[in-house]
Structure 1
């Protein structure tokens, strides 16, 4: 998704004040994001045959990591072709339309604390925009149900319960962009799941529900899956404060993520081949051949695999990847099961609200996005419940009414990232032991093949910023390999 799930206490919606500016900028970006995107060339690959280039680098995946790598390679004098499985660019970001609005079905937030993506927006003169919509209530778990609190009271309760979760993180990650700087402490902490940390805290039942709604949601449904160090590093990157953490999803991009990605792609001069899922990557005799599922082969001296870690296991590598790569891909970094649901709603008995349900509830974070001209509200929510059909307004309404009695869900739009064959998961959420185990290994090239994905970023893993960072790193690695050839 290129950014973590937006927690209920992580943002007040980027709402109605953005609507006009986003829509006016969005049409061109959406048009460019389809098959007619303006790169060096953009078309579906044909059936059979060999496409020899001439290319210096083949990049697999046209998300932010892959496109960043292509742009950086051009600056180093290296020509690339990008093979994209989907009929669109963006990877786990996806700017589209719903209810007459521009929406992000994947990651969409950027922040000044995220230096790479913030610099890219400035580089291409793409404005960042913040919401200002009014929120009436903050819905949290209480007993066996929910209670709707005034916004300030609800936020204060979550802050009080949530902040102690990160006691000692300043010592664990004293240099957030150098996550291994406290190696001794880190080794022990990285063994903990988020559930392990919750167990240490011995919270009351109500306070536990205030925290595990975040930890369970980020982990893909169960706090036992996600590593404590995953969320702890994000807290450190946010300045070790609740206020820093809760602000990181305030800003979006004018025209959506597609506007920035298209600007970067155009700048890269790369050839783009859409509808080109990769089946095999074979390295032999100083070159690498990438073969698509349609049988089209591309050969170049170097390759950058810029797809989620969860997808590595779907590609046949020859020679095979070392065990560190294959084991992590099989276990998964991208959170499983997750989906993002946009909803057009009306008639909420509690007005506009942020929903912060506990782990195990069919919806996790629920956030208002915009007030619509017809008086209805655009909201979005996340879910890790495989049984919830996000495309069924009645099913979503039944769940949502437990938080907001009487609310009507008029229509929905959903992207189920966990079931998407070209992501097999959502945002990055490492599992216990991964950071201090195979992580540094899988950041490195194997032969003439480098890897780029937000999943393996050193800094903002799971965010667009991490994808940009990883793309830059992979481009440097390939340039160094090329210089030695």
Structure 2
């Protein structure tokens, strides 16, 4: 939906057409504002991307939703989009005593539940209101400083338990128990009602339309002017307005701009007026996990409906069941291993067989978000001390600029729900700027 005209001046310019940017643009249009939505890619969606593979609808990026996620569930309800449920495994393959061992679902569920309850014990004291993570900010200092490894070091766990929990949770942190903040995992646990079922239920339901289908309904509600294939190279806040310049040299002006690209992309944009210290620090490193990839695998062999998890550092972190095919199974995998050659069929098949030796790879599709030019990383994840030092500052306007990204959300940060939440907040802030004189 690219509107062809020669307008170059707007009330607001939104940079980035993922869920955060589309939400912000829709809300500003609903207020009667002239809005330009600029997107670097040739499609809407950002780190969500609905496509097809092996005759099935697939999601190459963010995919899952749940009613415990209030913002995205509101969007599904608003547009009447039904959800479908992914296949549930009948057995789970886990790394045990140096090898992959199969467990009946109920046995694995009980043991993992006990382990997660131990790891996240006391979470309710730190996040009594999990959608407001700084509600007990005065009690979060030492807790927010912990990595997952720090937390595991506090517990009396067996070697197998350490292998299970590090493989299970390190993926969400970008591949290492040392990398991300344990407080972010703990907040997700609190958002998931402090139990395993709630924590993992957020990877069970998908919009029947696909994420792109839902996004298109949001755009059609209050359409802005949209320019695809328009990477932004500069956002200049000159006090009485902003000038946004694209790679092709086009220049657009507005009274305010919403920066709605992933935080890993902030470093690719020139801000001539500068950024606050908190934003500049995050721009240097980003919050998106650096090597996150998602794979869709057509597998054959003597396979039942299974799920497999690897140990920390495995080329493929996890295999999820998706659906049965006429000649095999369609499965989803994630990798956070920078050494895995994702372009090599043999390397991918070998990685699959480390988790399930009986699997034969027929075909696969992969999206390497870490090497994607316009994301430069996968899902957002906070490092230790981030929540209690810079989190709130990143959400504040700076001059005529506001910021929107699932990376900086209060609630389900790192998820599509967080992107919608952040887009709503940025739209409100931009509307306030438009209601005041520059």
CA distance in 2, matches of 1:214, 1:375: 30
User: Could you say which residue in structure 1 is the equivalent of 2:64?
Assistant: 109
1:165-176 equivalences under 5 Å are 165-176=119-130
- Asked whether the 8 Å contact 1:287–1:300 carries over to 2, the reply is yes
SS of 2:354 mapped into structure 1: coil
The question of 1:452 aligning with 2:404 is answered yes
SS of 2:94 mapped into structure 1: strand
- Asked whether the 8 Å contact 1:393–1:410 carries over to 2, the reply is no
> What is the root-mean-square deviation of aligned Cα atoms in Å?
1.4
2:38 to 83, 96, 119: 83
SS of 2:42 mapped into structure 1: coil
2:289 to 326, 335, 341: 335
Q: CA deviation at 1:352?
A: 2.5
CA distance in 2, matches of 1:201, 1:358: 19
Unaligned ranges ≥5, structure 2: none
1:23-38 equivalences under 5 Å are 37=1
User: Could you say which residue in structure 2 is the equivalent of 1:476?
Assistant: 428
User: Could you say which residue in structure 2 is the equivalent of 1:363?
Assistant: 316
User: Could you say which residue in structure 2 is the equivalent of 1:351?
Assistant: 304
User: Could you say which residue in structure 2 is the equivalent of 1:386?
Assistant: 338
1:178 to 132, 146, 161: 132
- Asked whether the 8 Å contact 2:133–2:187 carries over to 1, the reply is yes
- Asked whether the 8 Å contact 1:341–1:390 carries over to 2, the reply is no
User: Could you say which residue in structure 1 is the equivalent of 2:231?
Assistant: 277
Unaligned ranges ≥5, structure 1: 1-36, 46-50
2:167 to 213, 221, 225: 213
The question of 1:301 aligning with 2:289 is answered no
1:14-413 equivalences under 5 Å are 37=1, 41-42=2-3, 52-131=7-86, 133=87, 135-348=89-302, 350-372=303-325, 374-413=326-365
Q: CA deviation at 1:137?
A: 2.1
* TM-score normalised over the length of structure 1: 0.88
- Asked whether the 8 Å contact 1:193–1:224 carries over to 2, the reply is yes
SS of 2:387 mapped into structure 1: coil
Q: CA deviation at 1:249?
A: 1.5
CA distance in 1, matches of 2:149, 2:236: 41
Q: CA deviation at 1:184?
A: 2.2
- Asked whether the 8 Å contact 1:215–1:226 carries over to 2, the reply is no
User: Could you say which residue in structure 1 is the equivalent of 2:395?
Assistant: 443
SS of 2:140 mapped into structure 1: helix
Q: CA deviation at 1:213?
A: 1.1
Q: CA deviation at 1:390?
A: 2.7
**What's the CA shift string for 1:286-335, capped at 9, x where partnerless?**
01000011111010000000001111111000201022101112222111
Q: CA deviation at 1:134?
A: 5.7
* TM-score normalised over the length of structure 2: 0.97
CA distance in 2, matches of 1:42, 1:97: 27
CA distance in 2, matches of 1:311, 1:438: 18
- Asked whether the 8 Å contact 1:93–1:107 carries over to 2, the reply is yes
Q: Which moved more, 1:91-100 or 1:280-289?
A: 280-289
SS of 1:446 mapped into structure 2: coil
CA distance in 2, matches of 1:434, 1:273: 34
CA distance in 1, matches of 2:109, 2:222: 43
Q: CA deviation at 1:52?
A: 4.9
